[in-house]
Amino acid sequence: MILVTGAAGFIGSNIVASLNKQGYNKIIICDWLDHESKKKNIQKLNYEEIISPENLITYLNHKNNIDIIIHMGANSSTTESNFRLMYNINTRFSRNIWKWCTKNKVRLIYASSAATYGDGTRGFNDSETEKYKPLNVYGLSKYLFDRYVIKQAKNNICPPQWVGIKFFNVYGPNEYHKGKMQSVVKHALDQYKESGKVKLFKSYNNKYSDGEQTRDFIYVDDCITLINWLLENKNISGLFNCGTSIERSFDDLVKAMFKAINVAPCIEYIDMPNNIKNQYQYFTKANMNKIKNRGYDIQSTSLEEGVYDYVTNYLLSDDKYK
């Protein structure tokens, strides 16, 4: 039996869809169905029951047939400033799941984030010894759990398999409930439909021209491929990046969107809000050597291919859900 937290969310629902395709139907999903799009994210999925997050630990204490927990549930808002809220959801709740998995010898795969790396000046290496300075409360809440995990694992107080996946900039179907935290692909298409142009933030770093700020954009299908590999390789544990190792600019991404709809690019550069300026990452690039050295064969979807698939087969389709 597999339990997936955040299963009605973006990556979580894609995971369950993939498990279903592989023949797994004995799945328990844990999430709040507090948004119409989250209900639609699971409408095609096969699962046994839904558990609310606040009831999860009590539920688990009465179950003895859980083999794996895939913990994707989190508050992923990078602009949230309430530390206590973030800590309770992203750190404390995750610790409780870790403790339960450790006690009951259940494998655990959980979502970390590239936001734990801060401004990138210390690199994006998924080392378990290097210390980083996250730029926002979300990144800090994820970082604190990562540090807890590393300490527990060093003392062998850990599940039989444990993996923290540091997701970089993921885009793809089933992200529609995320509001401002939706990918730039989705925002760009919405802006074009509304005004005929796409707005991107100006750069306030002399190293980067407007629109040339970069990210390691990864299509959600590639994230699912990595997770499936980890499920098959239960001897693999540790913190691992999930990216492409390729920097691409926001201009590149938006131009790929325009190409997918066969329209000439029209981009306007706007001022960045003051509350974002001091916590803005100007580049991200995953170092994927660690997982490659463990045997994972990375075959990433190109930005142009991923954006085209997302736009044409989902965003412009009558049915945009996986």
> What amino acid positions are annotated as catalytic residues?
138, 178
DSSP letter (8 states) at residue 160: S
How far apart CA 289 and CA 216 sit, in angstroms, is 15
What is the number of other CB atoms lying within 10 angstroms of the CB of residue 269?
15
What is the number of other CB atoms lying within 10 angstroms of the CB of residue 274?
7
How far apart CA 38 and CA 177 sit, in angstroms, is 6
CB 2 within 8 A of CB 27: yes
Measuring CA to CA, how many Å separate 233 from each of 160, 192, 206, 228, 316? 12, 43, 44, 9, 37
Rg value, the chain, Cα: 19
How far apart CA 275 and CA 146 sit, in angstroms, is 26
How buried is 270 (Cβ within 10 angstroms: 0-12 exposed, 13-18 middle, 19+ buried)? exposed
Strand pairing report for 248-249 and 214-215: antiparallel
How far apart CA 240 and CA 229 sit, in angstroms, is 13
